[in-house]
Amino acid sequence: MAALQGKVALVTGSTSGIGRAIAERFAAEGASVVVCGRSRERGRPVASALIGQGDQAVFIPVDIGDENQVKSLADAAVDEYGKIDILVNNAGPNGVAMAVGRFHELSGAAFGSNIDVGVHGLFWCCKYVLPHMIAAGGGSIVNISSLAAVRAIPRVGAYAMSKAAMEALSRQIANDYAGDNIRSNSLLVGTVRPEASDDSTLPEGLDVAGLDTEMRKTTMTGQLGHYRDIADAALYLASDRSRYITGASLPVDGGASGKVQYPDFTEYGL
């Protein structure tokens, strides 16, 4: 039996990238998927492609930084499918593109954009989905976090703050809603190489090959992640296969979080 057969999953930020990969993976495992994001131009084709291959999906446009839109999103999802079993909090600020710099260099707008989406939006999504999960008799929340929440990464402080807030919220929900049969976990995502279809989102002039080489050195495996790696981990936490796991933070990073960036001492005669 498919891992998510009969489940309804709401995946925020699922019009592209990791979110889209999660929506596609969940649909393949039998879930009815609510695809959502700000871009109708990107969102509608995602839902249409899933429907075209026989899956259940609907696209609902939303800006998760807007409380009223998030409430309407949750209500519309229940109107469409009758319940919400799974919430994937994937939508968030792109820290690299939106707020790169040390704190004294950041504008209030750049900092605020991270907090509005990464903190306020996260709160609205949980606030308005949780009552529907309680009504359904339980559910699973999967938060797509980042190594930046637990490790210092140069010049992305605002993004790191938003992801650290996600980690705290994830644990708190796990504790406060355990009695409602609701689990909450997060994925600490490491470096994931954008797929070719997403290359247009990268900063102009970025030395992709050089950056890839350097980022591979930070992992134990010497490889970068793919969207499917994150989708597979999200599937595990969303499904009943992880029924005894809650309040956890799972690194999906090729071992980067367990590696200290010391030099190879053999190069120095040791």
159 included as an active-site residue: yes
CA distance 91 to 18: 9
Under 8 Å between Cβ of 84 and 7: no
Kindly state the tokens that stand for 190. Answer: 């490491």
CB count in 10 Å sphere of residue 255: 14
CB-based burial label for 77 (10 Å; 0-12, 13-18, 19+): buried
Given the residues 81, 159, 177, 227, the one annotated as active site: 159
Residue recorded with tokens 């797509």: 144
Q: Which residues contact 8 (CB under 8 A, 6 or more apart)?
A: 31, 32, 33, 34, 77, 81, 82, 83, 84, 85, 86
Kindly state the tokens that stand for 60. Answer: 């609902």
Counted residue by residue, the chain has a size of 270
CB count in 10 Å sphere of residue 34: 30
CA distance 250 to 147: 10
Strand partners, 112: none
Residue recorded with tokens 């981990």: 233
Between the alpha carbon of residue 103 and those of residues 60, 97, 108, 261, the distances in Å are 35, 15, 10, 24
The residues annotated as belonging to the active site are 159
